[in-house]
Amino acid sequence: MCNRVVLDLDNVVFDFDGAFCKKFGWENRELVCLEHRYPDRADEIELFVQNPATYGKLDVLSLGTQIAKYCDENGMSTTFVSNRAMSAERITGIELKKNKIPFFSYSVGRESESPKLARIAEIAPLFVVDDMLRVAEGCADISIPCFLVDQPWNFKENLHPLIYRITTFSEFLEKFDQLTRVFV
């Protein structure tokens, strides 16, 4: 059985949306695109997203951290794959180490030559944990199960059978157990 897993960083391990909302407001959280939430502040939003300091001030989320630690304790190799700005590459490694979040490697870059789904497909993980519905659906389309961390911007009824919506670590464990029984 494959021992590689992929986790997203923002809104899975680190609370990017919380930091964003503290700065810009809590309205329109059902919209995934930040610039669509506040179209008149697009330039300011871009500066916030590109600023490496933004990523050094994020709170740690227990769900993603627990999943990363569980994977490490159970012999799985975690790669973090994120669309956060390339300018945040260095601070990402610093924050993962500072917060004692185990990982094998990490990859950032929304400007990357290799889009996130292509990077995930190349790794061919056992599963993915993400907050973006389009990533979850893209993974399911290539037969990679995805645990979708419940967020206001990713609600959809009738999810693909390889997408497992989770809000707690115990839900992850329950659904992971179901998933591994399918592959055994």
Q: What is the pLDDT of residue 107?
A: 92
pLDDT bucket at 2, cuts 50 / 70 / 90: confident
pLDDT bucket at 181, cuts 50 / 70 / 90: confident
Q: Of 21-25, 82-86, 100-104, 162-166, which range is least confident?
A: 82-86
Q: What is the pLDDT of residue 59?
A: 98
pLDDT tens-digit readout, 104-132:
999 998 755 568 999 999 999 999 999 99
Q: Is the pLDDT of residue 166 over 90?
A: yes
User: If you average pLDDT over residues 28-33, what whole number do you get?
Assistant: 95
pLDDT bucket at 47, cuts 50 / 70 / 90: very high
Mean pLDDT of the chain: 94
What domains lie within the chain, and their CATH numbers? 4-13+60-183 (3.40.50.1000), 16-55 (no CATH)
User: If you average pLDDT over residues 66-78, what whole number do you get?
Assistant: 97
Q: Does residue 159 contact residue 141 with C-beta atoms inside 8 Å?
A: no
